Chain A
Amino acid sequence: MVTLISQWILSLLIFFPLLGAVLVAFTKDAQKARHLAVAVSVLEMIFSFHLIAHFNVDSSAMQFAQDLAWLPRGTGIRYTVGVDGLSLLLVMLTTILCPLVFLSSYSSIGSNVKSFLALFLVLESAMIGALVSLDLVLFYVFWEAMLIPMYFIIGVWGGKDRIYATTKFFIYTVIGSLLMLVAFSYLYYAHYQANGIFTTSLIELYKTAAALPAGVQMWLFAATALAFAIKVPLFPFHTWLPDAHVQAPTPGSVILAGVLLKMGTYGLMRMSIPMFPQAAHDAAPFMIGLGVFGIVYGALIAWRQTDIKKLVAYSSVSHLGFVVAGMFAFNELGFTGALYQMVNHGVSTGALFLLIGVVYERRHTREMSEYGGLAKQMPWYAFFFVVATMGSVALPGTGGFIGEWMILTGVFQVSPAMAAVAGTGVILGAIYMLWLVLKVVWGPLNNDENKKLTDCTPRETFVLATLSVFVFATGFLSVPMLAHTEPTMKKLQQSVSKKEAYKTELVIRGTSDEPMRVMMNGR
């Protein structure tokens, strides 16, 4: 029975929110739809606990795998999904963040509620799909499917300049992903030339891609890395992010910062680096350089913003610079830290956007100068704000510290100078985040409109408290969390450093200790 569940759990996770979306769309009452969406996402979260409960922490294989026929046989395009240490944490982050986002949408979304919720559930489904798919075409489908709900979420429920922002977001992302598609197609054909069969299986293409000549690898790496770098967003492809964040409604911002950006870094770690180890090595100094420059660049710009959301958006640019720099250090510390930092950034920045949403709903402005002294009126709010800030500036005891520490230690092993420059990001991070706190939470309560503000409602408190707990839990419980990822990271590191093909296999983790292998039909 457990084996059966394990075999189907990923498909369930992918398609259950879709089902929820249909149900939500056909609900009559907006309030009921909200309840339903929360229920669906909570159920989804409960389902996803199966992954944690039955994940084999000693294995780097693709677990809970499922391999079914999808498109006609000759095309080699199949429905293949699986989870390893790399995607597990991100799947969990997604399923845990989504209920909180739905709770936050109770007050932030007033019009077209049902459509919003349905789109959001579709988005959740696509995100999980992109994280677990092991077939390039399947991945691409989910990758693009993420774009559509987000396009509408920003474009319909966004702020004043939402159309500009959402168009920019869309075009940026699509340009990148089309290049990625070209690279995938080339690989597809290269595999056919080499082996005489067509396949889009990621596991097979790892081998094909790693065997390509260095020059070809570099082009393919560049094409895929560009797609992911835009999503990350890595400097200088980041300018869509501030606009998108500023214009997006609160839940949109949260999920954008919390999960969608991680898709870029996830893609780099899942596709670009292990597929093209030679090219990744050649490009590593450049990528670390971009990441580190992005850290400083994003931080300095963030400091000078007066729009709260823009500030946090640029802080994302800075934080994700760490992640990119870390993964291109090509040691376990860097990889693990990068992965962990993705999760932490999701939690703390998600919390920050939720917090901004809380006051935005009350005051309908994001200008820093409009606020000040909120601690007086909203003590709990101030508390959560400070906690989220501390998570964001990577205070020891929060998860951000572990992530950044690992990344910087990892980068230091390969390039002390880069690590030192990246380290200044720690200082600048403190400057701009505390500047934000200073201007919003502390100071005198001068603005008369702020004197009427009420503290967080129980619902908001629940959401923010949950995230605050996570901020600290990730800071102290890194070992049990990272135990799941360690074999994967180790294997990744080994194959990349030896410039070999990344080898993995599909298994279902059953009740017994012996992993059950999934038969790859028709390959």
Chain B
Amino acid sequence: MNLVMLSFIVMGVAAVLLSGVMITRRWPVSAAMVLISVMTLLAGMFGLLDAHFAAVSQIIVYAGAIMVVFVFVIMLLNLPPEELRYGGVTVGEMILSAAGVAVALVLGTKVGQGYLSVGIEELGILKSENSLALHRPLFGPDQNVKNVAATMFVEYLWAFELISFLIIAAMIGSVVIAKKRSAENANAA
């Protein structure tokens, strides 16, 4: 158990717990803030997993852009307290939650015993000749970004372009959705 492992576990546990905290918040702003911290923790975990670029992107894009939009909308709506009913949890839901916790715990013990790595070897991901593994140093210093780029723009170029279409569609779509109403208002007035 070295320092890296320790901090990873701490971050992971914190992230899970904070996620739990998030879903139980009453105020959306609080929830958003907790979520941002979860994301920041995840960014740290990415960093520990040597995915530096992913870590930084996690913060810049997720925490720095997407969540800002969330917060922006939350603030814009500025919901009155009576809008924020907090529906109770039914018995069935509680049973479900309990089952989830139980499974998670049992699985945790299994993971602790190294069950997961055995299972992964059985799946043969690393040995398969059909895997898309690239046999080159991936996680050395200053290599991460280059490798991500190389993979993304060679193997996944097509998907990348498709995603860009998706983003354009989403942009146009959200503008249209948001604007329709105001145009109607303008007409009415």
Contacts and interface: CB of A to CB of B under 8 A. Distances in A.
So, do A and B actually touch in the complex, CB under 8 Å?
yes
A72 B130 contact: no
Interface string A39-77: 000000000000000000000000000000011111000
A70 B162 CA distance: 13
A461 to B, nearest CB: 44
A116 interface: no
Interface in A61-101: 70-74
A461 B79 CA distance: 69
Contact of A198 (B130, B155, B156, B158): B130
B169 to A, nearest CB: 15
Interface in B131-170: 131-132, 155-156, 158
Contacts of B132: 72-74
Contacts of B131: 74
B157 to A, nearest CB: 10
Contacts of A198: 130
A469 to B, nearest CB: 44
Nearest to A72: B155
B51 to A, nearest CB: 21
Nearest to A70: B158
Contacts of B155: 72-73
Interface residues on B, range: under 10
A189 to B, nearest CB: 13
A70 to B, nearest CB: 8
Contacts of A72: 132, 155-156
Nearest to A69: B158
Interface string A272-290: 0000000000000000000
A71 B155 CA distance: 9
Interface residues on A, range: under 10
Contacts of A74: 130-132
A198 B155 CA distance: 17
A69 to B, nearest CB: 9
B130 to A, nearest CB: 5
A70 B161 CA distance: 13
A188 B158 CA distance: 22
A73 B151 CA distance: 13
B172 to A, nearest CB: 15
B135 to A, nearest CB: 14
Interface in A347-370: none
Interface centre among B130, B131, B155, B156 (most CB of A within 10 A): B130
A71 B156 CA distance: 9
A362 to B, nearest CB: 42
A70 B155 CA distance: 10
B128 to A, nearest CB: 9
A74 B130 CA distance: 6
A198 B130 CA distance: 9
Contacts of A70: 158
B163 to A, nearest CB: 15
A413 to B, nearest CB: 48
Contacts of B158: 70-71
A198 B156 CA distance: 19
Nearest to A71: B158
Interface centre among A71, A72, A73, A198 (most CB of B within 10 A): A72
Interface in B42-88: none
Interface in B6-34: none
Nearest to B159: A72
A523 to B, nearest CB: 14
Nearest to B132: A74
A290 B94 CA distance: 61
Contacts of B156: 72
A77 to B, nearest CB: 11
A188 to B, nearest CB: 13
B132 to A, nearest CB: 6
Contacts of A71: 158
A195 to B, nearest CB: 13
A412 B115 CA distance: 69
A72 B158 CA distance: 9
A72 B154 CA distance: 9
Nearest to B129: A196
A425 B132 CA distance: 57
Nearest to B130: A74
A133 B88 CA distance: 57
Contacts of A73: 132, 155
Nearest to A76: B130
Interface string B118-136: 0000000000001110000
A357 B156 CA distance: 48
B123 to A, nearest CB: 16
A72 to B, nearest CB: 6
Interface in B166-184: none
A412 to B, nearest CB: 51
A73 B154 CA distance: 11
Interface in B82-132: 130-132
A74 B131 CA distance: 7
A73 B155 CA distance: 8
Interface in A170-203: 198
Nearest to B155: A72
9 contacts: A70-B158, A72-B155, A72-B156, A73-B132, A73-B155, A74-B130, A74-B131, A74-B132, A198-B130
Interface of B: 130-132, 155-156, 158
Given A72-B156, A74-B130, 4 more contacts: A71-B158, A72-B132, A73-B132, A74-B132
